[in-house]
Structure 1
Amino acid sequence: MAKLSNVQRLFGILEILRTETDAAHRLDAKEIAQRLCERYGEAIDPRSIRRAIDEMILCGCPISNDGKYYYKGFFSNGEMAYLCNAARFGTGLSHNDRETLIRKLCVLQGSGTPSAPCTDAGIGSPLFMENLGIVEDAMQAGRQITFHYGYFDVDGVLKLFERGNALKVYNAHPYGVVMANGRHYMIAKVNRHIQLSHYRIDRMADIHKRKGKIRPLERDIDLDQYVKAHAYMYSGVVNTYRLRVRRKNLNDVFDWFGQEITFENITGDATDVLVHSDKSSMQFWLQRYGKNATLIEEE
């Protein structure tokens, strides 16, 4: 076998660390040299291995060096757990897509197999990942899209809305994708509607980019604020509501409306809270939390 170049040697070391090590399984320079010899048939001085790894660490490679080496991965343990749990318990993804995504994260992290099996968290769509990719591509290209939209029936199969004897066609200017209540929504202006609308990514089908360019909005959308003002993701005009809330139940207000809320008339056990919401979302919120919050007025 031909002698390894410096670049090949570096990638060989990195691949060994990435696939064979973690915090509980570390290798020293001599062991890495032995594995390189087994893989590529070239004997390498362990001192060269140490120098190479020192240079890789200086360049930002996530490698730990405390006498023995291991690959730390791109993500911290907390970050990795968050990403895997988002894939495992989020809605919209099919079971196969959940497993595939978690395996890819584990390969990128160099952490072997997932720590827990995937679950079926609600109905998933095999089109979800493809749909999300097409919408993102269209927004990056500044292009409109066309699609069909539907609902899940008793058989768990997506049924597309019809108009007359044909499927209803939605022509959209997509402006953003948000995640709310564990679900992904496209925010867009659709057909001739003046107001913004949002559509579940997993309920869209037959998405295609159009030749037309996305029409600029009158003002930029703050996606974070948009989600907070549409807590249950219903379209509609956003109004200001004054609620009287028991102070021990303010967690429910922060959870759904964020921290950009205003407090007035604070007493020992209650306070007035001003929040911004569409009407339907506010009605649903009050149905759920009405025992601990009272609507005083809509401003």
Structure 2
Amino acid sequence: MVGAAVVEDPEPLRIFTEQRGRLHAVAYRVLGRFTDAEDVVQEAWLRWSRVAVADVADPEAYLVRVTTRLAIDRLRSAQARRESYVGPWLPEPMLTSPDVAENVTLGETVSSAMLLLLEALSPLERAVFVLREAFDYSYAEIGEFVGRSEPSVRQTARRAREHVERQRVRYDTDQATRALVTERFVAACSGGDLASLMDVLAPDVVLVSDGGGLAPAPRKAISGLDMVARALLTFAGRMPEDPATDVVSFNGGPGIVVSSAGVPVAAVSLHLVDGVVSAVHLVSNPEKLVGLRDFRAR
């Protein structure tokens, strides 16, 4: 008799597939790196695949707990590596859907400005802040996820929230305004129009460029209207072969992807205050552009 083929139980995969988007969203906000978030989710799947699913009362809670703890461990390691990073460090851009942009809370928690602000928190503080502010888990639930008591989690959340409130800038969230200014910014840069570019920039605008030593980029932030405008036009004048510039949705709002032969070579995020650009985040480190690889499919 020929042995019957072994059919694997499809239930673990079905459950994990349902939760995958949430798990990646948690890991990305904790880490600020698209590739690390993908690695964490993959490790969560490997652990989940070895579990007796029937014995898990709450699969979402189990998977979020595993993902959170893996992300905290990875962030601790990453923070040590960042001490030797060349030039300013910015989060990895990640494509987001329009519904994220329309949800002000979700959009803000995934913006490069917020992710950069969260860098000052400890890994535990950052995870607690993300789980509470972005996903609205209760303090008791978060305590289970991170292995702390509810009172301890409340204190950690308070410290994290106070730090964020002290440091945060209230950037414009109106998507129509952001889209309009982004289009004007692209047109001015593409046309080399210094006057038009300066019209959309705030007097105290700051440009932060992240090349990671792998792409040309200023090693320090540039401040001031004239200096930033001229630096941006210099960058625009160094377009790659077969260049293209697209406005797409990433990190919770409209952003600019510069590509060569369909491959992203730079990503620009604009942060507005009172309708003008207060901060420009420019990522050209090729290792950080993986999260934009499918930008043309959006």
- The reply to whether TM is greater than 0.5 is no
Pick the structure with more strand per residue: 1
Higher-Rg member (1/2): 1
Larger relative contact order (CA 8 Å, sep ≥ 6)? 2
Q: TM-score, normalised by structure 1?
A: 0.24
Higher helix share: 2
Instruction: Name the TM-score, length of structure 2 as normaliser.
Output: 0.24
